[in-house]
Amino acid sequence: MTKSNNPDLYFALNGAAPSFAIITTYYFQARHVPTNAVIFSYSYYQPDASEAAEVFAQYQDYGNLTAPANLGLQLTIGENTLVLSGVWYGPEQEFGG
């Protein structure tokens, strides 16, 4: 390793990047492919700032505290819109969207 052939690595290893890490081992566990997936999306147009903040806070709490493991969630905040979307990995009857 030299400064000219690996400048980013050289910079980090010389102490200039305190949050730099080199991963030497990576473990993962494969999961079975779900037999069914329900993709959903709900759009809110032109919410005021307090509504948008409330929706964001409740969606975040639900995702962190209550949502089942087979539910993937996403909240997109755009200009004058909130889009709540995600995917349910399971039977559609259990989704109840």
Task: Tell me what pLDDT residue 18 has.
Answer: 63
pLDDT tens by residue, 46-83 = 888 888 888 889 989 999 999 998 999 999 988 888 89
In a domain? residue 19:
yes
Question: Closest by alpha carbon to 55, among 79, 80, 75, 85?
Answer: 75
Give the global pTM: 0.60
Task: Tell me what pLDDT residue 1 has.
Answer: 65
Characterise 2 by phi-psi region: left (phi > 0), alpha (psi -120 to 50), beta (else). beta
Task: Tell me what pLDDT residue 7 has.
Answer: 82
In a domain? residue 37:
yes
In a domain? residue 2:
no
* Residue 88: domain span: 7-95
Task: Tell me what pLDDT residue 43 has.
Answer: 92
In a domain? residue 55:
yes
- Total domain count for the chain? 1
In a domain? residue 1:
no
Task: Tell me what pLDDT residue 17 has.
Answer: 56
